[in-house]
């Protein structure tokens, strides 16, 4: 019987940890499938991948990896013999992880040829975020599913997604006056809220349909960070479509303590019975945006 | 006659430049109004601010500044005697700069008390982005308009908005598995596109109404950065609402060479006659998202 999928770090196994073989990753659910590169599925997401040289198209830049999805290859020769598909279980899992902001454990195998690969066994490279997914013509001529993964762990010495984005911005002279307008971040708590509402917006009820399911964003009522210092907590979070997220953040809408919408949208917030909302934070939002 | 407003760096005046007095900033349009803290207005945006100790509530953390807006104070004593308002010309200017992603030149005066202030005269602190605006009860008891500004210039040694955001994320243990879902960046070219469409979405025609005007996002057809390496150019940009921006980026919609919408939305793209769109990039977008 397969073990439950676990996302994020697993106790006792830190960055740089070496496994002698694939089977050693199974008891802890670190990677539950010794025969596949991707551990996961389209319903739950993917929790771990192994880079093992199986696909000639993988690119490894250390804190940024361009990963080739699963499927389409002849099991005996490993050669690509048909197009890959988003319906493949592993590919669907990585898409889900992208849309839900789930972290993926990356493991490099000794067969993988890069300056970061271990000489033997399998080395844990840390948590990565899936930030992009697209189709491409592979070296073989068949279509391959491609994923861009960026390091998102806690090692301060490594490049963050922001630093990687920034280095692009700085390399490209035309972008030199580029200003960050929005950074949308996801945490386990915001993922839970979005899941509870099935990716629907609590203001308008719509969802953004993507290849891998319903997309919404976790919106903080009292903003995080200086000077507001709101909590990343369920009672301070709403599931919103990107449009209403922007409107809430900019104060184009606010919410009364009876959950009536104020400002540019009429009606009231949809709230599930078990979703407690912090009224003091609603009050804070109204106050800073001049609704009182 | 007032000179035209200029955004961004001005030739010959680099970070750290010292002015002896406010009038020295006027001939170059560096800051055109020697009597006001904010240079700008709600139509064009604000291009420069001076921190001169006029408002007791200003907070200066170096690469992050919490700035108090203009108005509501007695001109002779400088004391706050009434509420500030978003309708004030300077405050409206900073809001506009926030929504359009316009960079603001920050100048510290010797009267401003912080470890970053010059001993005499006025020192140019570099380009900052306005990332937040809200109302607060000031020390005086009257409402004040507050702005959060983050350094966004080209000095690699200084903290970027991303680095500042990141330090919050790392300080807050509850956010340790936070994953960046979206980074929306603005450049002069994307601002021009959004302006041409008056902040309306080329897919659905809506705009996000904010205190300071119509909000839309500049969406790249062929993505920037590795491995797509799209251009930050007018013919690769669309003005989209956040919802359709997400859908384009995730391939939930694409566009034919006749500008018909493909995927989750019916109809066709609204395009102004003078807005040339790169058909090769449309083709690239369709290809990577499996529309061919």
Nearest in space to A182 (alpha carbons), one of B199, B150, B202: B150
Reading the block at residue A81, the tokens are 């013999």
At A48, give phi and psi (nearest 5°): -160, 150
Reading the block at residue A216, the tokens are 């919404």
Q: Please report the pLDDT score of residue A122 as a whole number.
A: 96
Q: Across residues A278-289, what is the average pLDDT?
A: 95
Q: Do B181 and A179 touch (CB under 8 A)?
A: no
Q: Would you call B66 an interface residue with chain A, using a CB distance cutoff of 8 Å?
A: yes
DSSP labels for A103-168? -EEEEEETTS-STTS-SSSEEEEEEEEEEEEEEEE-TTSSEEEEEEEEE-SS-TTSPPHHHHHHHH
Q: What is the mean pLDDT of chain A?
A: 87
User: Regarding beta strands B104-109 and B45-51, do their DSSP bridges make them parallel or antiparallel, or are they unpaired?
Assistant: parallel
Q: What is the mean pLDDT of chain B?
A: 87
Helix (H, G, I), strand (E, B) or coil at A184: strand
Residues in chain A with CB shorter than 8 Å from the CB of B135 are: 287-290
Q: Across residues B157-171, what is the average pLDDT?
A: 62
Tell which phi-psi region holds residue B236, choosing left (phi > 0), alpha (psi between -120 and 50) or beta: alpha
Q: Would you call B11 an interface residue with chain A, using a CB distance cutoff of 8 Å?
A: no
CA–CA separation, A168 and A173 (whole Å): 9
Facing residue for B180 by CB, picked from A136, A162, A287: A162
Q: Please report the pLDDT score of residue A163 as a whole number.
A: 63
CA–CA separation, B106 and B15 (whole Å): 10
Q: Please report the pLDDT score of residue B174 as a whole number.
A: 40
Q: Across residues A121-130, what is the average pLDDT?
A: 94
Q: Would you call A242 an interface residue with chain B, using a CB distance cutoff of 8 Å?
A: yes
Facing residue for B179 by CB, picked from A103, A233, A241: A103
CA–CA separation, A78 and A150 (whole Å): 26
At B91, give phi and psi (nearest 5°): -60, -40
Q: Do A181 and B181 touch (CB under 8 A)?
A: no
CA–CA separation, A162 and B95 (whole Å): 25
Q: Do B185 and A189 touch (CB under 8 A)?
A: no
Q: Please report the pLDDT score of residue A160 as a whole number.
A: 63
At A94, give phi and psi (nearest 5°): -65, -35
Helix axes A161-171, B161-171, angle to 10 degrees: 180
Q: Please report the pLDDT score of residue A212 as a whole number.
A: 75
Reading the block at residue B199, the tokens are 């902040």
Residue B2 has pLDDT above 90, yes or no: no
Is the torsion defined by CA of A1, A100, B249, A154 positive or negative? negative
Residue with tokens 């601010």: B49
Smallest Cα distance from B214 to chain A, Å: 11
H helices present in chain A, as ranges: 89-100, 161-171, 188-196, 242-249, 279-288
Q: Please report the pLDDT score of residue A185 as a whole number.
A: 73
ipTM of the shown complex: 0.77
CA–CA separation, A86 and A41 (whole Å): 11
Residue B167 has pLDDT above 70, yes or no: no
Q: Would you call B227 an interface residue with chain A, using a CB distance cutoff of 8 Å?
A: yes
Is the torsion defined by CA of B279, B280, B285, B289 positive or negative? positive
Q: What is the pTM of this model?
A: 0.76
Q: Would you call B265 an interface residue with chain A, using a CB distance cutoff of 8 Å?
A: no
Question: Model confidence at B175, in pLDDT bands (50, 70, 90)?
Answer: very low
Helix (H, G, I), strand (E, B) or coil at B287: helix
Query: Residues 132 to 171 of B: which have CB under 8 A from any A CB?
Result: 132, 134-136, 143, 146, 148, 150, 152, 154, 156, 160-163, 165-166, 168-170
Q: Please report the pLDDT score of residue A176 as a whole number.
A: 47
B288 or A106, greater pLDDT:
A106
Picking from A138, A177, A234 by the largest number of B CB atoms within 10 A of its own CB, the best residue to mutate is A177
Tell which phi-psi region holds residue A217, choosing left (phi > 0), alpha (psi between -120 and 50) or beta: beta
Residues in chain A with CB shorter than 8 Å from the CB of B163 are: 162-163
Range with top average pLDDT, A150-159, A211-220, B21-30: B21-30
The CATH architecture to which A18-174 belongs is Roll (2.30)
Contact indicator for B92, B210 with CB cutoff of 8 Å: no
pLDDT (tens digit, 9 = 90+) per residue, B49-71?
999 876 667 889 888 899 999 99
Residue B153 has pLDDT above 90, yes or no: no
CA–CA separation, A177 and B47 (whole Å): 13
Q: Please report the pLDDT score of residue B176 as a whole number.
A: 46
Nearest in space to B241 (alpha carbons), one of A206, A226, A65, A162: A206
Q: Please report the pLDDT score of residue A174 as a whole number.
A: 41
Picking from B171, B180, B235, B241 by the largest number of A CB atoms within 10 A of its own CB, the best residue to mutate is B180
pLDDT (tens digit, 9 = 90+) per residue, B206-226?
999 887 788 999 999 998 876
User: Regarding beta strands A38-41 and A64-68, do their DSSP bridges make them parallel or antiparallel, or are they unpaired?
Assistant: unpaired
B25 or A165, greater pLDDT:
B25
Q: Do A156 and B169 touch (CB under 8 A)?
A: no
B212 or B192, greater pLDDT:
B192
Contact indicator for B213, B199 with CB cutoff of 8 Å: yes
Q: Across residues B24-38, what is the average pLDDT?
A: 92
B165 or A149, greater pLDDT:
A149
Helix (H, G, I), strand (E, B) or coil at A240: strand
Q: Please report the pLDDT score of residue B173 as a whole number.
A: 46
Q: Would you call B20 an interface residue with chain A, using a CB distance cutoff of 8 Å?
A: no
Domain extents in chain A: 18-174, 188-288
Query: Residues 192 to 211 of A: which have CB under 8 A from any B CB?
Result: 206, 208-211
Q: Across residues B188-209, what is the average pLDDT?
A: 93
Q: Please report the pLDDT score of residue B35 as a whole number.
A: 85
Is the torsion defined by CA of A248, A252, A255, A261 positive or negative? negative
Q: Would you call A8 an interface residue with chain B, using a CB distance cutoff of 8 Å?
A: yes
Give the helix/strand (H/E) hosting B266.
none
Q: Please report the pLDDT score of residue A173 as a whole number.
A: 46
Reading the block at residue A208, the tokens are 């953004």
pLDDT (tens digit, 9 = 90+) per residue, A213-267?
889 999 999 988 777 888 889 999 999 999 999 999 999 999 999 999 999 999 9
Residue B1: half-sphere exposure toward Cβ, Cα within 13 Å: 2
């Amino acid at each position: 019987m397969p073990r439950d999928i676990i996302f994020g770090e697993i106790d006792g196994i830190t960055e740089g940890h070496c496994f002698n073989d694939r089977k050693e990753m199974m008891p802890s659910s670190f990677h539950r499938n010794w025969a596949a590169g991707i551990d996961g599925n389209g319903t739950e997401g993917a929790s771990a991948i192994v880079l093992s040289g199986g696909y000639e198209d993988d690119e490894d830049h250390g804190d940024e990896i361009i990963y080739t999805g699963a499927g389409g290859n002849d099991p005996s020769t490993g050669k690509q013999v048909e197009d890959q598909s988003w319906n493949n279980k592993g590919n669907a899992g990585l898409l889900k992880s992208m849309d839900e902001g789930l972290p993926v454990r990356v493991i490099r195998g000794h067969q993988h040829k890069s300056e970061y690969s271990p000489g033997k066994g399998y080395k844990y490279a840390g948590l990565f975020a899936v930030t992009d997914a697209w189709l491409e013509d592979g070296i073989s001529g068949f279509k391959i599913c491609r994923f861009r993964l960026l390091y998102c762990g806690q090692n301060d010495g490594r490049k963050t997604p922001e630093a990687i984005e920034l280095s692009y911005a700085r390399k490209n002279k035309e972008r030199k006056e580029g200003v960050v307008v929005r950074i949308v971040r996801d945490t386990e708590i915001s993922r839970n809220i979005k899941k509870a509402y099935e990716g629907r917006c609590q203001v308008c009820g719509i969802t953004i349909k993507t290849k891998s399911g319903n997309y919404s964003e976790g919106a903080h009522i009292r903003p995080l960070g200086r000077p507001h210092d709101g909590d990343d907590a369920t009672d301070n979070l709403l599931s919103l479509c990107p449009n209403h997220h922007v409107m809430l953040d900019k104060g184009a809408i606010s919410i009364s303590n009876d959950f009536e919408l104020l400002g540019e949208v009429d009606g009231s917030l949809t709230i599930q019975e078990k979703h407690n909302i912090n009224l003091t934070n609603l009050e804070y939002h109204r106050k800073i945006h001049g609704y009182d």
